[in-house]
Amino acid sequence: MDKKLIVIAIGGNSLIEDTKHVTVAAQYEAARKTAAHIVRLAAEGHKIVIAHGNGPQVGFILRRAEFSRRILHTVPLDSCVADTQGAIGYNLQMALHNEFAKLGTSRPVATVVTQVEVAKDDPSFTHPSKPIGTFMTQEDAEYHRDNDGWNIVEDAGRGYRRVVASPFPKRIVELDTVRTLLDNGTIVIAAGGGGIPVTISEEGVFSGAEAVIDKDLAAALMAKELGADLFVISTAVEQVCLNFGTPEQKSLSDITVDDAKKYIEEGHFAPGSMLPKMQAVVDFIENSGHVGLVTNPENLYDAVNHGKGTRISPKR
């Protein structure tokens, strides 16, 4: 079998199997289960880059800050992303090492704290719309609006939530570092949480941005810039579906990029759920001419090797 460079994007929610048990130990166990399938691919000689989500984990950091706001400073969003890149990367590193040990082998694994450049004039900074964190009372919402400059929206009578910009990723700043590690046989964990959003001045000065970047779009950008042979999105379902959750639900096993674009236009995929994943896969395929896969963690290996999941190809 040809050895491939595979970029795998795993969701932050996939690290939480039970919302009633969200301890670090429970998240490690979820990471370990996913790592077991990735190790099987690595053992075949493939080069692997792993990107991961961090939505729930950033929410936990913000929640802790909420409880301690009277005695501790708030944490900027770019620092929240950096914190979760380190913590989740550590869990994945340990899980991968331990799963390799079960096979009686090893591969070096490294997490790269990754900055991703975004444009200062990205429209999302003017119209922030990405909800983050937990629901708040009106009193708490007004406190943060007045003291921290948060943008607040009311959510269907359930309370108030902070909304932030979600700018489009332009460049993976540490791409050369990722490439060097790959060339030396390292499994790389990078662009966690979509990457730490940074803007860059004309003088080359970096500044962190109060924003979050879509993890799948950042992973697709990284896959394109690395020249990946295969881009895999690991999510909650084995296959992408049309008419999801209805009696007319239909699973998709093998489609073309044109099929995917048509289904997107027809509104089959929910915003904030399957839609950005399909948009990311389409972007990767149209810019690389290579294949994308969408499946759940337990079918990662079989999606690459045995036709499981949903395969999106450049043409039929």
Q: Which residue has the tokens 């090492």?
A: 97
pLDDT digits (tens, 9 = 90+) for 28-74: 999 999 999 999 999 999 999 999 999 888 988 888 877 887 888 87
Quick one: pLDDT at residue 13? 65
Mean pLDDT taken over the chain: 92
Span 242-253, average pLDDT? 91
| Model confidence, pTM | 0.93
Asked if residue 17 has pLDDT above 80, the reply is no
Residue 160 lies in a domain: no
153, part of any domain: no
Does residue 314 contact residue 289 with C-beta atoms inside 8 Å? Answer: yes
Of the pLDDT bands very low, low, confident and very high (cuts 50, 70, 90), residue 316 is: low
Predicted pLDDT of residue 170 = 97
Q: How many domains does the chain have?
A: 1
> Per residue in 91-124, pLDDT tens?
999 999 999 999 999 999 999 999 999 999 999 9
Pick 21 or 196 by higher pLDDT: 196
Element of type H or E holding 255 = strand 254-256
Residue range 79-92: average pLDDT?
96
Q: Is there a domain that residue 156 lies in?
A: no
pLDDT, one tens digit per residue, over 277-313 is: 999 999 999 999 999 999 999 999 999 999 999 999 9
Catalytic residue among 133, 194, 195, 215: 215
Q: Could you tell me the CA-to-CA distances from 117 to 49, 180, 252 in Å, in that order?
A: 19, 20, 34
Marked catalytic residue, from 4, 47, 130, 224:
130
Query: Residue 176's pLDDT band (boundaries 50, 70, 90)?
Result: very high
Please name the residue that has the structure tokens 């999941």. 309
Measure Cα distances from 74 to 59, 69, 70, 77, 150 in Å: 13, 7, 10, 9, 12
The span from the CA of 44 to the CA of 57, in Å, is 32
Percentage above 90 pLDDT, the chain: 74
pLDDT of residue 227: 97
- pLDDT value at position 272? 78
215 is catalytic: yes
CATH of the domain at 254: 3.40.1160.10
* Within a domain: 100: yes
Residue 209 falls inside a structural domain: yes
In a domain, residue 71? The reply is yes
C-alpha–C-alpha distance, residues 46 and 256, integer Å: 24
Average of pLDDT values for 235-257?
A: 92
Q: In this structure, is residue 161 part of a structural domain?
A: no
The Cα 106–Cα 85 span in angstroms is: 23
Beta strands 160-164 and 171-172, pairing class = unpaired
Which of 223, 191, 215 is CA-nearest to residue 114? Answer: 191
Residue 309 catalytic?
no
State the virtual CA torsion across 39, 212, 210, 191 in degrees, nearest 10.
30
Domain contains 37: yes
pLDDT (mean) for 73-101: 94
Among residues 4, 47, 224, 277, which one is catalytic? 277
Amino acid at 139: E
170: annotated active-site residue:
no
Domain hosting 278: range is 5-117+170-313
Q: What is the mean pLDDT of residues 170-192?
A: 97
Task: For residues 15-27, give the mean pLDDT.
Answer: 81
- What local confidence, expressed as pLDDT, does residue 1 receive? 55
